[in-house]
């Protein structure tokens, strides 16, 4: 941890969350963490959270109240949402999906309100962008019309990038906005032409997201953005060791 006075990188813990610089001997207190949890308690919570344990199991392992665990995990998801990738560049995939329970388990009124599957369904639409070889970004959206999706593409994708999409009408006009546009026609059972025209990376993320949400038994619609942010963050940092993820989250929480 860097010294705030001389910027030295060598220090040691002296007492109650305080550190002392090896160079200038300056003492400082590390960033205060919320919910009156010590750094050690936060580390335990985050480690179990990264390992996929439920709030009940984390409470059992740490000896902390479940309510405190739930508040802590919600704050973690909130900082995960803010830790978003930079503007995407290069080869970029865009796509939308729908989140919701199985059709047979939905209420009768909900089944009457929309179609069984696909665009126009009564499920919650989610839009995503993936940079090949890089990270993904996703957000809950009101609808999948061009007036909603096109501003997100222009905000998140650098002009001149190659944008891969399916043939949904809302993507018409991507090329006119300064992008190279490549299409894959799912209606004709085209998923890859062998020359890089596909959105398989983003389709893979949608599969991962839905498996994780299904494992939780589903989540309420108003809480979906929090869990979406969590799984985007997990996916983007999937190749990093657990202890590194814990350190990154501790820093985000301390700076929030």
pTM: 0.79
Q: Write out the H or E segment, with its range, that includes residue 139.
A: strand 136-140
* Percent of the residues in the chain that have a pLDDT greater than 90, as a whole number: 61
Round to whole Å and give the CA distance between 146 and 152: 10
Statement: residue 209 has pLDDT above 50 = yes
Statement: residue 105 has pLDDT above 50 = no
Burial class (CB in 10 A: 0-12, 13-18, 19+), 95: buried
What's residue 117's pLDDT? Answer: 45
Whole-number average pLDDT of the chain: 86
Statement: residue 250 has pLDDT above 80 = yes
Q: In residues, how long is the chain?
A: 256
Give per-residue pLDDT as tens, 121-167.
578 999 999 999 889 999 999 999 999 999 999 999 999 999 999 99
Choose among 70, 122, 65: nearest CA to 99. Answer: 122
């Amino acid at each position: 941890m860097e010294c705030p006075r001389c910027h030295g990188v060598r220090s040691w813990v002296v007492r109650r969350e305080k550190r002392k610089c090896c160079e200038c001997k300056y003492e400082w207190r590390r960033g205060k963490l919320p919910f009156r949890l010590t750094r050690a308690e936060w580390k335990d919570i985050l480690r179990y959270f990264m390992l996929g344990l439920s709030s009940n199991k984390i409470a059992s392992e740490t000896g902390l109240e479940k309510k405190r665990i739930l508040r802590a995990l919600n704050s973690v998801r909130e900082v995960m949402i803010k830790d978003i990738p930079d503007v995407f560049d290069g080869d970029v995939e865009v796509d939308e999906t729908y989140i919701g329970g199985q059709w047979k388990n939905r209420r009768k009124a909900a089944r009457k309100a929309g179609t069984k599957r696909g665009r126009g369904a009564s499920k919650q639409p989610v839009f995503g962008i993936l940079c090949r070889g890089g990270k993904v970004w996703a957000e809950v959206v009101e609808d999948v019309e061009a007036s909603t999706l096109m501003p997100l593409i222009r905000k998140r994708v650098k002009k001149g990038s190659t944008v891969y999409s399916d043939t949904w009408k809302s993507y018409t006009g991507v090329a006119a906005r300064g992008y190279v546009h490549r299409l894959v026609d799912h209606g004709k059972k085209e998923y890859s032409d062998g020359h890089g025209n596909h959105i398989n990376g983003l389709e893979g993320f949608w599969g991962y997201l839905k498996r994780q949400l299904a494992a939780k038994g589903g989540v309420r619609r108003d809480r979906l953005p929090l869990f979406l942010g969590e799984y985007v963050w997990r996916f983007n940092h999937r190749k990093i060791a657990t202890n590194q993820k814990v350190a990154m989250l501790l820093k985000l929480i301390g700076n929030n």
